[in-house]
Amino acid sequence: MTETWIAIGEFARRSGVAASALRFYEAQGLLSGRRSAGGRRCYARSELRRVAFVRAAQAVGLSLEQIRAALASLPGARTPTQADWERLSRGWKPLLDERIAALTRLRDQLASCIGCGCLSLKHCALYNPGDAAAARGTGPRYLLGDPAPQVVAASTPPRAGNALPSNRQRPHPPRT
């Protein structure tokens, strides 16, 4: 059976990817093409599945290097079959779960303090007193997964009557 070849313009329309992106994918080793007798860039129809695979992997958040490695794991650099797709995409599930959790946090915390350090919302005084979240690192700490209650608890000094940390000594009682 002979392979059907599609000119780059039609391939771009069918795949939903700009011709410049197709040339970039080819330069990155993600896609294979050839020149027609007239010098036009052409791709095998089966390469449509590879482009779909690349786009799906990008949507999951994989880097081009990770996508290239996944495609390189296929025998003979062939287009992914359904079994290949299932095997490779199984490894993406933890990534997807992580992104879903991050997006859920973002959705749920958009109107409240996100631990970014701006201290501009009334809630910030409660959930990020004195920018305590900065001790956990840069960026919006609560969106990145640091729980606000732990940050607040770590920044709150012990109350009178509470045990002092072992590295602090109790002051001597006043002399009478």
Nearest to 82 by CA among 45, 49, 48: 49
In whole angstroms, give the CA distance from residue 176 to residue 174.
Answer: 6
Q: Look at residues 124, 123, 133, 137 and name the one whose alpha carbon lies nearest to residue 153.
A: 133
CB 120 within 8 Å of CB 158: no
Of 61, 69, 8, the residue nearest 34 (C-alpha): 8
Query: Residue 170's pLDDT is what?
Result: 44
The whole-model pTM stands at 0.61
Domain boundaries, the chain: 5-91, 111-155
Residue 58 CB coordination number (10 Å):
13
Fold of domain 5-91: Multidrug-efflux Transporter Regulator; Chain: A; Domain 2 (1.10.1660)
pLDDT along the chain (176 residues), means of 10: 89 97 94 91 92 90 89 78 85 87 82 84 83 88 83 71 48 49
Q: What's the pLDDT at 172?
A: 47
**Alpha helices of 17-171 — where are they, by DSSP H?**
19-27, 47-60, 64-72, 82-90, 93-109, 122-127, 148-155
